[in-house]
């Protein structure tokens, strides 16, 4: 938790409490429904919370912003971002019900009012959002195909509406067809070795409606 305070010193007291509560909630629920690996749960703040919050280093979502987290799994990056931006609404979607059960319990345990969840494939969602966030779900061409019509027209931020994707490793091949993508190195935000190869991709998506 010190890690989170170190990189995000401006958190309000309520947010600090919510981030602190995450560890116990995940440890507890993970014993009942295994959604986070053992190694990852021991390093929850580094591998999940801080990693998810890299998106908050790129952009501060304004009040009223609508975000969808596609393939949220156990709630990443959606839950840490929902704590960080309480006036932004987050729709967390996953095709595996047991993962969303954990997400629902963690959301209830934290008392988060800005999160809703759907158990479905993202291809079934019809709504639109300012940004589509995600981590480790599909290769970029497949992902873009799934979500390109989910991006709203109205711009609220300097950063163009579109996809914000947390990815590891070499992205060059995946991004050849997306010249408008910008890749950010998480090592520019965080000094821990875990982030050395981690990246954040922003891909603006133009509304076609």
Ligand X SMILES: C[S@@+](CC[C@H](N)C(=O)[O-])C[C@H]1O[C@@H](n2cnc3c(N)ncnc32)[C@H](O)[C@@H]1O
Residues comprising the binding site for S-adenosyl-L-methionine? 71, 76, 122-123, 135
109: exposed, middle or buried (Cβ count in 10 Å: 0-12, 13-18, 19+): middle
Residue whose CB is less far from ligand X, 156 or 171: 171
Residue 12 or residue 97: which is nearer to ligand X going by CB?
97
Question: Residue 190 corresponds to which tokens in the numbers above?
Answer: 């965080």
Nearer to ligand X, 85 or 165 (CB): 165
- Give the start-end residues of each E strand in 32-155: 66-70, 89-94, 115-119, 131-135
Binding-site string for ligand X from residue 157 to residue 186, where x marks contact by CB under 6 A and - marks none: ------------------------------
Q: Report the C-alpha gap between 27 and 44 in whole angstroms.
A: 9
Of residues 74 through 113, those in contact with ligand X by CB under 6 A are 74, 76, 93-96, 99
Asked if 18 touches ligand X (CB under 6 A), the answer is no
Angle of helix 97-110 versus helix 13-32 axis, rounded to 10: 140
Return the residue of 30, 53, 67, 73 that touches ligand X, per CB under 6 A.
Answer: 73
Q: Which is nearer to ligand X, 68 or 181 (CB)?
A: 68
Looking at 64-72, 171-179, 185-193, 198-206, which segment touches ligand X (CB under 6 A)? 64-72
Q: Taking the CB of residue 9, how many other CB atoms lie within 10 A of it?
A: 7
Which residue is associated with the tokens 């998506």?
205
Could you say which of 55, 81, 135, 190 contacts ligand X (CB under 6 A)? 135
Q: Are 209 and 153 spatial neighbours (Cβ–Cβ below 8 Å)?
A: yes
Identify the residue among 72, 89, 117, 161 touching ligand X (CB under 6 A). 72
Bridge partners (DSSP) of residue 117 are: 92
Helix (H, G, I), strand (E, B), or coil: what is residue 124?
Answer: helix
1 touches ligand X by CB under 6 A? no
- Residues near ligand X, by CB under 6 A: 70-74, 76, 93-96, 99, 121-123, 135-138, 146
């Amino acid at each position: 938790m010190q890690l989170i305070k170190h990189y995000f010193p401006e958190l309000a007291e309520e947010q600090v409490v919510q981030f602190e509560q995450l560890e116990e909630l995940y440890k507890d629920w993970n014993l009942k429904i295994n959604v986070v690996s053992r190694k990852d749960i021991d390093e929850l703040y580094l591998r999940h919370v801080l990693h998810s919050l890299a998106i908050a280093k790129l952009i501060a979502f304004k009040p009223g912003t609508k975000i969808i987290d596609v393939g949220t799994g156990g709630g990443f990056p959606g839950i840490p971002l929902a704590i960080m931006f309480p006036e932004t609404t987050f729709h967390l979607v996953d095709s595996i019900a047991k993962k969303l059960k954990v997400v629902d319990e963690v959301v209830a345990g934290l008392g988060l009012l800005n999160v809703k969840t759907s158990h479905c494939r993202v291809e079934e969602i019809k709504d639109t959002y300012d940004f589509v966030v995600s981590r480790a779900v599909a290769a970029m061409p497949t992902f873009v195909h799934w979500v390109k019509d989910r991006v709203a027209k109205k711009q609220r931020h300097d950063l163009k509406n579109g996809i914000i994707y947390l990815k590891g490793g070499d992205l060059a091949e995946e991004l050849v067809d997306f010249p408008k993508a910008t890749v950010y190195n998480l090592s520019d935000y965080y000094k821990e070795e875990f982030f050395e190869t981690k990246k954040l991709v922003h891909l603006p998506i133009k509304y076609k409606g």
